[in-house]
Amino acid sequence: MTRLTWSIWRDFRIQLRSGYPWPIAAATILCIAAFARIPGGDNDILAPFASLAFSCLTTLPFLIFQVLAEKREGSLALLDLTPLRPHEYLASKAISLALPSIACNTALVLIARGPYFNPGFFWTGLAVSGTLFAWFGFLALSLGLRGGKTAAIASGAALLLLVPVFPNIGLISKPWFPALPLGGPAILIRASYESISIFKIVYAAVSCAVWMGVALIACRKGFARLRIP
């Protein structure tokens, strides 16, 4: 836990030095302005899609830029001299990026919709989606993608995962929907706005756990490749 805490604070300092908070603040203001103009009835339909899209854009590109900077500076090579394990490195990146994203997403919802949501379901769905997006970016890097184009390519590919989440009540209500990578988080976010059966919530929670496990295993296997100079 001490190693993980140190790594998280290190990531926060890197983000602060790189100016990460400023584009996030600008994106939050723009999203609030856009979301507040959506009619009340459509708000509930669009909410999961908007929240997940915001989560993607505030985690994945910044994860890629940060890891590429560490690789250029030689920070990743220094991990051979430290006891930081691969899963701790991955967790620190996910946590340090997901927490600001969750905070900004909460501010967006509070200002645009008011305090009419269940924060437990909302934060859980965002935490899972932010973690999946961060690990998705790490996988893109471990597959050999390089340079600033990586963020654009990976972000575009990740946004395609949101297509099934596109505001369509009929699709979201399908029994297989929570089995999709972002289906579980979308169901949990929707459960924070409206009544959903306990079975569907449990199904979504199991789906979240399975996909996070798959992402972690895949990223651990790509960790060694990423650290090769």
CB 81 within 8 A of CB 118: no
* Domain residue extents for the chain: 2-226
User: Could you report the per-residue pLDDT of 144-153, keeping only the tens digit for each?
Assistant: 656 666 777 7
Place of tokens 């993608």: 145
Per-residue pLDDT of the chain (229 residues; tens, 9 = 90+): 577 777 788 788 777 777 777 877 777 777 777 766 665 555 566 777 878 888 888 888 888 777 777 777 666 655 554 566 767 777 788 788 888 888 888 887 777 667 777 888 999 998 898 888 888 887 777 776 566 667 777 777 777 777 777 666 556 667 777 788 888 898 888 888 778 888 888 988 999 999 888 887 777 766 656 655 5
CB 131 within 8 A of CB 215: yes
**Among 191, 185, 190, which residue's Cα sits nearest to residue 207?**
185
Q: What is the pTM of this model?
A: 0.79
Name residue 221's amino acid: K
C-alpha radius of gyration, the chain, whole number: 18
User: Cα dihedral angle (154, 109, 194, 175), rounded to 10 degrees?
Assistant: 0
pLDDT recorded at residue 206 = 92
